[in-house]
Structure 1
Amino acid sequence: MAHKKGVGSSRNGRDSNPQYRGVKRFGGELVLPGTIIVRQRGTKVKPGDNVGLGRDYTIYAKIAGYVSFRPYSRTQKIVSITPLQPAQPAEATA
């Protein structure tokens, strides 16, 4: 015999809030410093040049430039920022 009553809709109806993870800026997109590129759990995408890794593994841009992704392993990628213009040495005037 059942010890629990077969109840339906009155006990249902709970759902967790969405986490909104994933890639926010894709390869080739122009980003400004501080722009979030990837929200993730763990380092599925690893930080490369000119990007930072937040406490919650969020990857963000440190400089203005273009986003680029490249393979790291079979399951991981590296994201980097290509600067808008390469740093040019200051010209000396005589």
Structure 2
Amino acid sequence: MAHTKAQKTVRGNRDSKSKRLGVKVFGGGAVIPGNIIIRQRGTKVNAGPGTMLSRDFTILSLKKGKVKFYQRRGEDFVCVV
């Protein structure tokens, strides 16, 4: 027979929705208090001065200013200046 018969769908064949992680405001970008700078899983980037790390590892701005990324001792940081 040339035709494939109807089959059950495979349970593990579904893909999860994307979580929209990543940098939301890049270096030099203007922010106000409460703006999300980075959405991440774990501390890929650490929170520096003028920022805070929320419980899901999102980095938020605490003051008005410009975003700056830098490295210290091999670690990545973001701050608001």
**In angstroms, what is the RMSD of aligned CA positions?**
2.0
Q: Which residue of 2 aligns with 1:81?
A: 80
What's the secondary structure of 1:10's corresponding residue?
Answer: coil
Aligned length: 75
- Report the TM-score, using the length of structure 1 for normalisation: 0.71
- Report the TM-score, using the length of structure 2 for normalisation: 0.82
Q: Which residue of 2 aligns with 1:26?
A: 26
Q: 1:9 to 1:27 in 2, by over 3 A?
A: farther
Q: Which has the higher strand share?
A: 2
Q: Which one has a bigger Cα radius of gyration?
A: 1
* Structure 2 residues not aligned, in runs of 5+: 1-5
* Structure 1 residues not aligned, in runs of 5+: 1-6, 83-94
CA distance in 1, matches of 2:7, 2:78: 47
CA distance in 2, matches of 1:14, 1:47: 35
Q: 1:8 to 1:27 in 2, by over 3 A?
A: farther
Q: Which residue of 1 aligns with 2:49?
A: 49
